Amino acid sequence: MERRIFGIESEYGVTCVSPNGQRRLSPDEVARYMFRRVVAWGRSSNVFLENGSRLYLDVGSHPEYATPECDSVYDVVTHDKAGERILEQLLQNAEVRLREEGIDGRLYLFKNNTDSAGNSYGSHENYCTIRNEEISNYDQVLIPFFVSRQIFSGAGKVLQTARGATYCISQRAEHIWEGISSATTRSRPIINTRDEPHADADKYKRLHVIVGDSNMNEYSSFLKIGSASLILRMLEERTVVMGDMTLENPIRAIREISQDFSCRRKVRLANGRELSALDIQSEFLEKAIKFSERRDLSPEEKQSLAMWEHCLNGLRDDPLSLNRECDWVAKYHLLERYRRKYSLGLSDPKIALLDLQYHDVDRSRGLFYMLQEANLVERICSDEDIIHAVENPPQTTRAKLRGEFIKRAKEKNRDYTVDWVHLKLNDQAQRTVLCKDPFSASDERVEKLIENL
């Protein structure tokens, strides 16, 4: 596919802390305060917004933001960042209500993947792919790719073990238990195979990847989506012979790679070869470069390829040199500077707190945003585009139809129901439009539905 639909679903961790440092409200109570305004918007804690996105409370009181359908990597990264801004505003509104009710506590919202109790929550990527390509046939290529790409897309984590604390590249690596499965929370696979295309099922499938970390860094986020899309295009066109890099044990491999930030540790393939994550990614990159010499790539694909090559070269020279591009490297340097300054061990609670504060979405106190404000990390998205995406859908996909319908129905104070494919007016006629094409930003049926509001 030369044009693809992308989506990112990000779950967030929440907590409330009193002035003495004790937890004041449970995560469930914090989420209820945050979502009061959401319930007012749509009489539910599960709503679609005017920018085409979905906002809801997931299992375990985790706010989740699903971007609208985007047909460019830039747009999906921008809309993922817009989700942070939307939730940041909900958090600030909830804090005002807490003070009005005499509750003394600060609310925190973290875009990460694990909490202090060892629970994990996800960042899921969605890629539209053509139906006549069976996703399960891709697993020999995709699983090694997703297992090894953490070297540039990992968010970093201090892992507490029986042998002490250790710094890991990926937050999700310790919580993945299968390669492919139709479950998400129980077995936590790398790729989820549940067949929910949210589109014309005769034409499209949705590749649902749940192995990734939530990225604060826009560069990492862009690269993980862009490189995966390039791999998919090569698989779909069937013109590239991909080498057999099937892993002997993908689950063991993902953990071993995560626990070695030299990126040199070798993992065993099913054919007996031993390769490092850097070796595996380099083989994929080499195939992509050769593919680019025979095919016309879009500007975004060329950008992804250049970023991919830049990161692998940096990782080969010195993995800890990519502090501007990679979350796990930026966080590592923050923690190490603090540890050395105060002579702390990696298992010190203050280090665990810093680890968490890196992911605070409040731009006035989150450590990542302090780095960004100081121009110490790479930017991809403009602040103007992020602000625009808070209220406006992408203009080239089905999300435009959904966003426009929601906006007009609200203006007319009309009762409605929407999901990814349906737009429905809850009137006597129960008029409903089924939008099966995620690539279509115009539809006469939707225009008529809006005209009749």
**What is the separation of C-alpha 307 from the centre of its chain, rounded to a whole number of angstroms?**
18
Helix (H) or strand (E) holding 180: strand 178-181
Rounded to the nearest 5 percent, the helix, strand and coil shares of the chain are 45, 20, 40
Dihedral over Cα of 442, 445, 446, 450: its sign: positive
58 carries an active-site annotation: yes
How far is the C-alpha of 55 from the C-alpha of 48, rounded, in Å?
6
Distance set, CA 132 to CA 2, 190, 203, 323 (Å): 16, 22, 8, 41
> The tokens of 311 are what?
């990161």
Task: Choose, from 28, 58, 202, 437, the residue flagged as catalytic.
Answer: 58
Do 301 and 129 meet the contact criterion of CB atoms below 8 Å apart? no
How far is the C-alpha of 115 from the C-alpha of 50, rounded, in Å?
31
Q: Strand pairing partners for 10?
A: 65, 123
Which class for 392: exposed (0-12), middle (13-18), buried (19 or more C-beta within 10 A)?
Answer: buried
Name which of 441, 419, 15 is nearest 432 in CA terms. 419
Name which of 169, 436, 209, 435 is nearest 320 in CA terms. 169
How far is the C-alpha of 203 from the C-alpha of 22, rounded, in Å?
53
The catalytic site residues sit at 58
